Structure 1
Amino acid sequence: MPSQLEELVSFLHSSQPAVRQIALDNLVGFSTGPTAAIFKYDNCKAIEDLKNLSQEKSKVLVQQSVTILANLCDDDQLRKLVASDEEYLEWLTWKICDLENTSADIMCVLLSNLAKEDVITKVFCFTRENTDKSLPSLDRSVFKSDKLIDCLMDCFVKGYDRKLNKYANFDFLSYFFADISRFKRGRQYFIEEQEYDGVVPLSKLLVFTEKYDCKIRREGVASTIKNSLFDSETHERILIDEQINLLPYILLPIASAKDSEIDEEDMFNLPDELQLLPEDKTRDPVPAIICSHLESILLLCTTKVGREFLRSKSVYPLIRELHKNIEDEDVADLCYRIVNVLMRGEPENDQLEELPSKAADEGDGEEEESDDEAVVEVA
């Protein structure tokens, strides 16, 4: 006999709208923790019901069903079940780009959670050329590309602080970007100039490294930058490309106006953006985000051209000041590793073996999850 909760789950596919609403009202609170297992009742039929409910016109139905789906992503089996539905994934991603969508932000949370699965790379294939089914509307005054990934980038960059959609700020797309940059196709996207606007996507994200009123954006962007640097053969181009101008944006979050012991010569070798900082300039308040930027610097140290470039830009004195002025073991360890690489003699070959943890698609799967890699649960 099914339990009362399992019976409640079965009501999600009732033919009566009022019954479905009552079921959702009562089930949201059971979608996290051990009780989430009830959604596996009857061969996980609830997942199909929830996907259908998320496409209803009712704001309440959509919010609750997507919230449950986002929370259920903490379960590997249920997450794979949702992510493997290509048609639903395509609908969800285009729906986020609907600027009238009142549930865009919670859908961004769901998308970022689904991005833990390798099938997320399908988003690079989604375009508006698909006419087999009706897709959510697209405002052509905002979106100039037919590619879904370009439109999501536009949502994130142009839509912060509810500038595009009064119901959404698209912050959680930063976690989605961090996850797709684990894959080589994702890394290539972020560092290559895009045909539709002639801009390198990574350069659009850099300004958010100092958006101190939004930890989610800074955290996701910092991880996206780091993951985009895992292919060492691209480092020279990324560093010297003035259109990207990467280095200042990974140094500014770790710099403070109180770093007073950098001498004048070193100061004027720093990138222009770090010279004569305003008196109120502070470091990122989150040590984990500082660590992400330090890992990016360590990745840039893996080639001789990268090390020489960092030395020429007085990165060592900046790292030295950070090490002296912040008390965090992880930060201190990364500072030590960077200083050790920059200040010791050059190895016989150009490549160093020392790397931060590899991107997830290339690693052994046993590393501890960072905050942006973990599934986001919604209260």
Structure 2
Amino acid sequence: MPSELEELVEFLHSPQAMIRNIALQHLVGYSTTPQKTIFLSDNCRPIKDLKTIARDTPKIAKDALTVLANMSEFVKIRAILAEDLGFLEFVITSITKPQEPNADLFCILLANIAKDNAISNIFKLKASKNRNEHLKSDNILDQLMDCFVKGAEKKLNKYATFDYLAFAFADISRLPEGRKYFVTEQEYDGVVPLSKLLVFTEYNNALRRAGVASTIKNSLFELPEHITLLDKDRVNILPYLLLPLAGPEELSEDEMFELPDELQLLPPDKQREDDHEILRVHVESLVLLGSTRYGRDFMRNNGVYPLVRELHLAIENDDVREICERFVQLIMADEPGEAATNQRLQITEAAEEEEVSALEAL
């Protein structure tokens, strides 16, 4: 005989909305317990039912979204959700919908789904039909980016902060098409999307800082774009990577005035990023920038070494110290005799593949 739990799951498939909803209210708590595998039964039919219930009223949908978000830790479930273009479009439409009460839950779900490579389906989707007057682009990623930037601290939707979109961006930027998006100037506003995220490297929200740090790092695998990203009149990425690394330590006057303007004359109580994982990712970004001769010379001429030196002295975390040492070895090594070029990098496919393969060990 089926257990009580199995019977409840069966009720998710009931044609009567009231019965489905009562069953879900009793089941939602199981999605964080070892018994959550009940949602995988019958070839994951409960997941299909939950995708339908998620389109119900916001109050009812909340429980369905909670279960889906919790269950998306399973690779199989992530794939089911990411490969369903209709459901993926529904999730994104709901995030961008004005005053959607569950917008943050949809953001969490999208962030989980994005861990599956099938998130590449996002590039097949057209813009939401539920147009938000604050979203001017017809591009899905542009709309999500504007929600993230304009919607911080519930400035766009009183029910949502959109913080978890940072992790969705981080995973989307793992994909070549995603990286290309973040480093390419967009037609609708003439801005490189990555430049919109840089301000959040020092934001007072660890979720945003962590997701943005990973998005920056992943985007830097687009090696030919390093010149544009470092250009002080374009994206100007370097100060935003260095500010989280800077602490209260004093540099010599010569060292201080080599730094980018944004890092000169910092207050004596300046505190560096307190999350060691985020620190590590930022230094890994510096290593990636140092994968080209142009990037290494640029960082040498902008006082990066002394700042990393002080970080290495101040931090006891082995992972952070190890990547700092790797950066120092890279930046202090003798260069080949050829002069660095200030023109756009011309990296052959073979050379780029060789460098990226080495860097992916980060």
TM-score by shorter chain over 0.5: yes
Structure 1: distance between partners of 2:115 and 2:262: 35
Q: 1:337 aligns with which of 326, 331, 345?
A: 326
Where structure 1 has 5 or more consecutive residues not aligned to the other structure, the ranges are 129-134, 368-379
Q: 2:174 aligns with which of 161, 167, 182?
A: 182
Given that 1:298 and 1:356 are in contact with CA atoms closer than 8 Å, whether structure 2 keeps it comes out as no
CA spacing shift, 1:242–1:303, aligned 2, 3 Å = same
Structure 2: distance between partners of 1:252 and 1:244: 15
- In the other structure, the counterpart of 1:285 is 274
- In the other structure, the counterpart of 1:325 is 314
Q: 1:224 aligns with which of 215, 223, 233?
A: 215
Q: 2:231 aligns with which of 229, 232, 240?
A: 240
Given that 2:83 and 2:121 are in contact with CA atoms closer than 8 Å, whether structure 1 keeps it comes out as no
1:273 correspondence with 2:262: yes
Structure 1: distance between partners of 2:317 and 2:233: 33
- In the other structure, the counterpart of 2:67 is 68
Given that 1:161 and 1:169 are in contact with CA atoms closer than 8 Å, whether structure 2 keeps it comes out as yes
Q: How far apart are 1:358 and its partner, in Å?
A: 5.5
Deviations 1:139-159 (A, max 9, x none): 22x111111111000000000
Percent identical among aligned pairs is: 49
Q: How far apart are 1:241 and its partner, in Å?
A: 5.2
Deviations 1:276-323 (A, max 9, x none): 002332101101000010000011111111100000001000011111
Deviations 1:97-127 (A, max 9, x none): 0022000001000001000111212212322
Structure 1 residue ranges, 4+ long, deviating more than 6 angstroms after superposition: 348-357
231-240 or 263-272, which deviates more = 231-240
Secondary structure of residue in 1 paired with 2:295: helix
Q: How far apart are 1:48 and its partner, in Å?
A: 1.4
Structure 2: distance between partners of 1:221 and 1:284: 13
Q: How many residues of Structure 1 are paired with residues of Structure 2 in the alignment?
A: 350
Structure 1: distance between partners of 2:87 and 2:261: 47
Listed as ranges, the matches of 1:25-40 within 5 Å are 25-40=25-40
Read off the aligned partner of 2:24 and give its amino acid letter: L
Structure 2: distance between partners of 1:348 and 1:291: 31
Read off the aligned partner of 1:314 and give its amino acid letter: G
Deviations 1:234-278 (A, max 9, x none): 21222125221100000000001x221x21112111000000002
Secondary structure of residue in 2 paired with 1:71: helix
Secondary structure of residue in 2 paired with 1:242: coil
Where structure 2 has 5 or more consecutive residues not aligned to the other structure, the ranges are 341-350
TM-score (norm 1): 0.88
- In the other structure, the counterpart of 2:286 is 297
Structure 1: distance between partners of 2:175 and 2:337: 31
Q: How far apart are 1:324 and its partner, in Å?
A: 1.1
Q: Which has the higher contact order (CA 8 A, sep 6+)?
A: 1
Secondary structure of residue in 2 paired with 1:244: coil
- In the other structure, the counterpart of 2:130 is 137
Deviations 1:4-35 (A, max 9, x none): 21111111122333322221112112113532
Deviations 1:318-361 (A, max 9, x none): 011111112111111011111111112115789897879856xx
More helix by share: 2
- In the other structure, the counterpart of 2:165 is 173
Structure 2: distance between partners of 1:240 and 1:309: 10
Secondary structure of residue in 1 paired with 2:12: helix
Given that 1:56 and 1:62 are in contact with CA atoms closer than 8 Å, whether structure 2 keeps it comes out as yes
- In the other structure, the counterpart of 1:2 is 2
Listed as ranges, the matches of 1:1-379 within 5 Å are 1-57=1-57, 59-128=58-127, 137-140=130-133, 142-212=134-204, 214-240=205-231, 242-256=233-247, 258-260=248-250, 262-347=251-336
Structure 2: distance between partners of 1:17 and 1:90: 24
CA spacing shift, 1:44–1:64, aligned 2, 3 Å = same
236-245 or 62-71, which deviates more = 236-245
